[in-house]
Chain A
Amino acid sequence: EAQVTQNPRYLITVTGKKLTVTCSQNMNHEYMSWYRQDPGLGLRQIYYSMNVEVTDKGDVPEGYKVSRKEKRNFPLILESPSPNQTSLYFCASRTTGGAGELFFGEGSRLTVL
């Protein structure tokens, strides 16, 4: 089954404790991206990757890091989480070129105390 898998789905952590949210897709997609969704602000892109070793900033990259060492994986790293990073996070993937359908993971709800 074609899918985008995120882990963890739910996480409560404390300020400053590094964490990684993993994202994996099994569709051989070149393009992967991360979004955060906050009430009243909609979906905002954090980072995206056009292919392995190619990443670029989205609208709200501050406080986040990403890496793309393998085609299927695109982890989101919060080096020193802060309460304003409490949010619902989504990973998505599609083929490159812009014409492909975008597939989303189920989301990861992160709370930073």
Chain B
Amino acid sequence: KQEVTQIPAALSVPEGENLVLNCSFTDSAIYNLQWFRQDPGKGLTSLLLIQSSQREQTSGRLNASLDKSSGRSTLYIAASQPGDSATYLCAVPNNDMRFGAGTRLTVKP
């Protein structure tokens, strides 16, 4: 059964830093990988979707990469801002979606 792990569980950085969030998965036979953002008590907002045939996907200050063979994806956030503070989750679809536990990011002004 697919298992998804996110490291670190929590991260605190000063404003302006570039940072990397990690996601690993055990079964490389995936269709795609999706990154979400969740604010406390709120719903999940889709950030990026990387298809299995793609290596990376970019949206503004966010860049997600995918290495199927090694079972890894990274989410790179450039020039972090306090408004980026949230929990970031990665998910791998199958009939049952598998989610990582998330990385709680705090960006300090």
* Interface of A toward B, CB cutoff 8 Å: 33, 35, 42-43, 45, 48, 50, 56, 58-59, 88, 90, 92, 94, 97-107, 109
B-side interface size class = 20 to 34
B89→A102 contact, CB < 8 A: no
Which residues of chain A are near B18, meaning CB under 8 Å? none
Chain B, range 12-49, C-beta contacts under 8 Å to A = 30-32, 34, 36, 41-46, 49
**B82 within 8 Å of A (CB atoms):** no
Which residues of chain A are near B93, meaning CB under 8 Å? 94, 98-100, 102
Which residues of chain A are near B100, meaning CB under 8 Å? 42
Greatest chain A CB density within 10 A among B41, B43, B94 is at: B43
Which listed residue (B30, B89, B95) contacts A56, Cβ 8 A?
B95
A contacts with B: majority SS = strand
Given contacts A43-B99, A45-B97, A102-B34, contact A88 B46 (CB under 8 A): no
Given contacts A43-B89, A56-B95, contact A102 B46 (CB under 8 A): yes
A98→B31 contact, CB < 8 A: yes
